[in-house]
Structure 1
Amino acid sequence: MRQGYEGTGPGAITPDGCAVELYTRLPVGTEPDIITAAVPAAAHILELGSGAGRMTHPLLDLGFAVTAVDESADMLEHVRGARRIRSSIEDLDLGETFDVVLLASFLVHAGDVRVRRALLDTCARHVADEGCVLIQREGENYHTDVPRERTDPSGFVVRILSAEPLGDGTSSVRAEYVFPDATWTQTFLSRPLTEEAFEEALAEAGLKVDRYLTDDGMWVRAVKA
């Protein structure tokens, strides 16, 4: 396990605390629609942190070519129809570029600043000159509006139980996913980023905001600076 990360519940747990079986159950939301509206048709997408293919499979169905990257072999076993690469995002260097690089799941909020920089460097290294990077950010008050919960239309409950400040700008966040037949938890490190801090982090990697794709600012289209 990565330091500060933990997961509980049935089945395999990845180094960042994600439960593989849980991620095979999670439904896709509006993300494919957001992505489709922001990129060219039939673009080749490099999906960083694909997990079990929650977004990979809908993107393939929409006509995109997808290269799915994840450090967990257990996750990648569930990905079908995409080129699969097992690697940490920080260490990835394929020697090629893509129309679109996708960094979803709030990964840009990595608790370790060095990891965040490495993630964004990987994005910059793999995006074509005329391509774009799509990034998912945490919502407003993500770390202060706790505890909170929502019930998914499919019937399971997601709870953010706590976000404990660790004193260095990072929080230890604990989430719980409750299904009728199983419960999983994940504890992970997350660093809040204001819009200004986020744009400064992009600039460090040679990227800049092209536009915010959603009214809440959670989805961003970035390009090379």
Structure 2
Amino acid sequence: MPVGDEPDVVERLIPRGAHILELGCGAGRVTHPLLERGYTVTAVDESPEMLERVRGARTVRSPIEELDLGTRFDAVMLASFLVHAGDPAVRRGLLATCRRHVAEGGAVLIQREPEDAHTRVPRERAVPGGGLVRIAASEPVAPGVRAVRCVYEFPGARWTQTFLSRPLTTETFEEALAEAGLVVDRYATEDRTWVLARAAH
């Protein structure tokens, strides 16, 4: 997948040269542009196959919710809508890791779903390189949990991904942050999908 607007969002909110802890880095889709813009990145993922593709960053193989590096970072980034994990215990673990690793005065950047993520279906968007990402379905599978089917189409390749999502209203999202000792500083994009949070005092 090509990079989206994530590096631009980070650059608007976090000074260049900052050390960012990127949780769920995958193959480095966002990591590499951040490095190019002058950030230091520690990239975390469970998958050794993904981490093998990351270049120029310190890499750590670990489930996010179990991570404890014993150090704090200028910024912690939890993107890819991971905060909407289907299991509330996993979500609590993810946010606890964010709080555990953010420095005093540092920032936690969280990407959340748009308000209409599960009602404006199907929908699609074009991506650089001639690709298309289509949200084909969002169906309830358990109380408060939906199964989302996403179709990716690129020249010469097509694949489908299904993942579980627990929709969060603004109120329940902020309650989840508060439980982890975090507070919203501001909603950083017009669509309110990117949130700048800080440690609560």
Scaled by the length of structure 1, the TM-score of the pair is 0.87
Question: What's the secondary structure of 2:162's corresponding residue?
Answer: strand
| Equivalent in the alignment of 1:31 | 6
Q: Does residue 222 in structure 1 map to residue 192 in structure 2?
A: no
Question: What's the secondary structure of 1:90's corresponding residue?
Answer: helix
Query: Contact 2:85–2:164 at 8 Å: present in 1 too?
Result: yes
| Equivalent in the alignment of 1:211 | 186
| Equivalent in the alignment of 1:6 | none
Which of 93, 97, 105 aligns to 2:68? It is 93
1:49-128 paired onto structure 2 within 5 Å: 49-128=24-103
How far apart in 1 are the matches of 2:50 and 2:103?
27
| Equivalent in the alignment of 2:143 | 168
| Equivalent in the alignment of 2:174 | 199
How far apart in 1 are the matches of 2:144 and 2:55?
38
How far apart in 2 are the matches of 1:110 and 1:199?
15
How far apart in 1 are the matches of 2:94 and 2:179?
12
Question: One-letter code of the match for 2:91?
Answer: R
Question: One-letter code of the match for 1:128?
Answer: A
Count of residues in Structure 1 that have an aligned counterpart in Structure 2? 200
Q: Could you report, residue by residue, the CA deviation over 1:49-108 in whole angstroms, capped at 9, with x for unpaired residues?
A: 000101100100111000000000111111000000011101111111100000000000
Give identity over the alignment, percent. Answer: 66
Scaled by the length of structure 2, the TM-score of the pair is 0.97
Large movers: runs of 4+ above 3 Å = none
| Equivalent in the alignment of 1:154 | 129
